[in-house]
A and B are shown apart, each in its own frame.
Chain A
Amino acid sequence: MTSARFTRVKGWAPASPLLLVVAVAFGIPAVMLALGAFTVPGAPGEPGTYGLDNVAASLREPYLTKLLTSIELSAVVAVAGALTGTLLAHAVLTSRSAALRESVLSASGVLANFGGVPLAFIWIATLGNSGLVTTSFGLGPGLLYNFWGLALVYLYFSIPLMVLVIAPALEGLRPQWREAAQGSGASVWQFWRHVGLPVLTPALLGGVVLLFGGSFAAYATAAAMVGASVPLVTMQIADALTGNVLVGFENVALALSLDMIVVAMLVMAVYLPLQRRSSRWLR
């Protein structure tokens, strides 16, 4: 076989530069992160020792609250975003107007990628203490600068992201399924309960995980908007990195980073088997 001959000639060699770069640019930081997280700094001049102190500290107050708040915020945004995104996608996709479908989908593409500080600025101009909506309706200050304000702003990119994730799945629902269900005497609700939602489940779960990850990792928006008034783990880590904290807490920042990665991986670990189970029929 010709391709088998190429195998022996080429093998994995073409991939070696890639693997090397990944090992250096991703592997080394990962290892340093893990090592640092488990290194307890010694007295000045002394080498550190390995131990669980940092990790333990990162799971105690004041850090625990930040981690939990981050998780809570991301969960709220993920669930709310997934629901509203699905509703919106459904409303748009069932519309007769092709122009509406097209424009909402491309707008979703833009907004799903719109984040960071610029997003914060736009909302500050709207609902900030001197924002136009705030002042014209006399809503009083502090509207935006709390947990729910942040969630509202995160939804601004999360809902469009969900629209993009769920739209192909919604389009994959075949009209025959609904009609076959109706022909068997099912109501609209029964169709969704027994067929529509189960078929959408993998995409819905995928969307929830993606949205969770997006909010969990977001940093700049929150930093620009709420500062320290909503305790988030990303801001704590950034503070440690830029030297805004007491000396010696750098290793706790590494441990916090590790916590974040573990959370992200746990979410994946919960999602993957669920997704595999519910998507087995879609192959």
Chain B
Amino acid sequence: MVAVTPQSSARAVAVGGSGWGRRAVLVVAAAYFLVPLVIAISFTVYNEVQGFSLGAYGRIVTSPGFATSFLTSLALAAVTIVLVLVLLLPAMIAVRLGAPGLRPVLETITTLPLIVPPITYVVGISSALREGADALAATPFWATIIAIQDDRFPVVLVLAYVILALPFAYRSLDAGLRAIDVVTLVEAARNLGASWPHLLLRVIMPNLRSALAGAAFLTLALVLGEYTIAALLGYQTFPVWIVTISGNDGQLSVALSILSLVLIWLLLITLSRASGRKKP
């Protein structure tokens, strides 16, 4: 459920509201949000036997599977990002260059994944895989079905993540494309004799840098945080590994929670840096 980002905020307008009510709200909210965090952090660095120790964080890195699962997740993210952009960008440019009928279709397919709960999606996927393997057992496609479920690089997860990332990538790219006049850019470039690939790589993409970065980071965040689908399909991605490894080591599991919080935070900072960097 990663991929909701804060909007930049200017000053706001005080509309009613007394000073005391406001202060009370702030104090209660601070308690609710900060107390669990403070407790969790102190829990990871202190226990009665050893006193203060950063051991729990050290154990994260030395735990078996840390590197493998993290790298798997990164690889999945990289492929997903490339795929999402390669699939979306031409379609979104086509909408602007005179296939406006495509827009409602794009809007729909980039909204559905938000409505469909991941757990139902994974149910659909696994039943498709099962039935598919049965039905295609005698054909050459059987090998494909098996291949996309490879443990080291589960293509099926990439496909699922592409679908899940569509809404976020679409919105980010849409904002970027809205800011540049694609039609004029394309016409000017074509007029100067640019080929389509050249146009896409040299004219449009550079003008979309921050939107592309936004889409990429949202996708990265999504892949690094997604648990349900990977877990239920039985793959050891990083979020799944976190749960597997926590086991009975309470300190380690909470340390991992803090770690994922920090990870989200870092991703969001990078994201806001990337999309905050305006076109020159």
| A residues whose Cβ falls under 8 Å from a Cβ of B | 2-4, 6-7, 10-15, 17-19, 21-22, 24-26, 28-30, 32-33, 36, 84, 87-88, 90-95, 98, 101-102, 105-119, 121-123, 125-127, 131-133, 155-157, 159-161, 164, 167-168, 170-171, 173-175, 178, 188-189, 191-192, 196, 213-214, 216-220, 224, 234, 237-238, 241-242, 250, 253-254, 257-258, 260-261, 264-265, 268
Contacts and interface: CB of A to CB of B under 8 A. Distances in A.
Given A88-B29, A94-B22, A191-B15, A125 B39 contact: yes
A121 to B, nearest CB: 4
Contacts of A217: 1, 117-119
A91 B93 contact: no
Interface centre among B90, B112, B116 (most CB of A within 10 A): B116
Contacts of A265: 115
A196 B43 CA distance: 44
16 contacts: A3-B97, A15-B90, A15-B94, A17-B87, A25-B163, A30-B124, A114-B260, A117-B257, A118-B260, A123-B36, A125-B40, A133-B39, A217-B119, A253-B123, A260-B120, A261-B117
Contacts of B125: 29
A112 B126 CA distance: 29
Given A178-B13, A220-B228, A118 B261 contact: yes
B227 A112 contact: no
Given A94-B13, A110-B261, A156-B36, A164 B242 contact: no
B51 interface: no
B9 A33 contact: no
Given A36-B131, A121-B254, 6 more contacts: A26-B113, A91-B29, A213-B117, A220-B243, A238-B119, A238-B232
A92 B26 contact: yes
Contacts of B243: 117, 220, 224
A161 B116 CA distance: 19
B40 A219 contact: no
Contacts of A173: 13, 15
A153 to B, nearest CB: 9
A118 B126 CA distance: 25
A32 B126 CA distance: 9
B6 A234 contact: no
B179 interface: no
B257 to A, nearest CB: 4
Given A15-B99, A26-B113, A125-B43, A93 B128 contact: no
Nearest to A84: B29
A214 B268 CA distance: 19
A114 B261 contact: yes
A149 B42 CA distance: 22
B112 A26 contact: yes
B25 A91 contact: yes
A179 B160 CA distance: 51
Contacts, number: 284
A91 B26 contact: yes
A131 B115 contact: no
A234 B15 contact: no
A7 to B, nearest CB: 3
Interface in B1-54: 1-7, 9-17, 21-22, 25-26, 29, 32-33, 35-37, 39-40, 42-43
Contacts of B37: 122
Contact of B242 (A29, A118, A156): A118
B104 interface: no
B114 interface: yes
B91 A261 contact: no
B265 interface: yes
Contacts of A167: 6-7, 9, 12
A106 B264 contact: no
B270 interface: no
Contact of A122 (B131, B166, B257): B257
B25 A94 contact: no
Nearest to A214: B1
B123 A12 contact: no
A126 B36 contact: yes
Contacts of A253: 123
A171 B115 CA distance: 27
Given A22-B109, A220-B231, A126 B40 contact: yes
Given A93-B12, A191-B15, A257-B123, A121 B253 contact: yes
Given A6-B186, A93-B12, A22 B123 contact: no
Interface centre among A18, A122, A161 (most CB of B within 10 A): A18
